[in-house]
Chains A and B, each alone.
Chain A
Amino acid sequence: KNEVEQSPQNLTAQEGEFITINCSYSVGISALHWLQQHPGGGIVSLFMLSSGKKKHGRLIATINIQEKHSSLHITASHPRDSAVYICAVRRGGGGGADGLTFGKGTHLIIQP
């Protein structure tokens, strides 16, 4: 079993829908990252979380440390949100103790 599991693996939705992508992990972590990768390879960091909730524009990320679970929400989805969304965790309780461990990614397609 992978240390970081994402669901769903693939998601197709209509423009305007509310999107939720989930990430569960099995180890103690110091931080969790949500990343976005568009076709062609470039990766953009969306959020880095260690507790609670963060919001940036139409994107919201939450984390529940006790349940070892994080969610990424997209409100009012748009075709330009189509990308692969990747969850990554940094193990350890003391900051940058270990390198990142990645989920397999969620392929999101937003249709007009």
Chain B
Amino acid sequence: KAGVTQTPRYLIKTRGQQVTLSCSPISGHRSVSWYQQTPGQGLQFLFEYFSETQRNKGNFPGRFSGRQFSNSRSEMNVSTLELGDSALYLCASSLAFFPRDSYTGELFFGEGSRLTVL
């Protein structure tokens, strides 16, 4: 079956603009989580969605927001872009939000969206 699909793969924006990134999970997966990866900070958790509800949010400013649709597809938005927002944004999907075991809790990552802010 198809893996996790993220679009766009690469994008360049300028400071002050906003950006929307999309994530389509594996079919049947209802949990989607988002992560930011930078050389300095490594991987950091952004948000987690399950059944269209945000279940967890990481320590990021309000400029970072997201949502999940009824088909489990998710989008994240960053407004008023700053140079420091340049990063690889990854999403992952899993079967369950409260995993009972590795079958329901295993994470499947997309290839990421690489954002450059100039």
Contacts and interface: CB of A to CB of B under 8 A. Distances in A.
A41 B36 CA distance: 12
B26 interface: no
Interface residues of A, number: 25
Interface in A49-101: 49, 54, 86, 88, 94-96, 98-101
Interface string B106-118: 1111011010000
B74 interface: no
Secondary structure at chain B's binding surface: helix, strand, loop or mixed? strand
Given A94-B98, A95-B98, A96-B97, A102 B106 contact: no
Given A41-B114, A96-B48, A99-B48, A88 B109 contact: no
Given A47-B102, A96-B55, A99-B33, A41 B88 contact: yes
Contact of B45 (A31, A95, A100): A100
Secondary structure at chain A's binding surface: helix, strand, loop or mixed? strand
Nearest to A48: B102
A101 B108 CA distance: 16
Contacts of A45: 106-109
Interface string B9-49: 00000000000000000000001010101000011111110
Contact of B99 (A31, A41, A47, A102): A31
A27 interface: no
A95 B111 CA distance: 26
Contacts of A103: 42
Interface of A: 31, 33, 35, 41-45, 47-49, 54, 86, 88, 94-96, 98-105
Interface of B: 31, 33, 35, 37, 42-48, 55-58, 88, 90, 92, 96-100, 102, 105-109, 111-112, 114
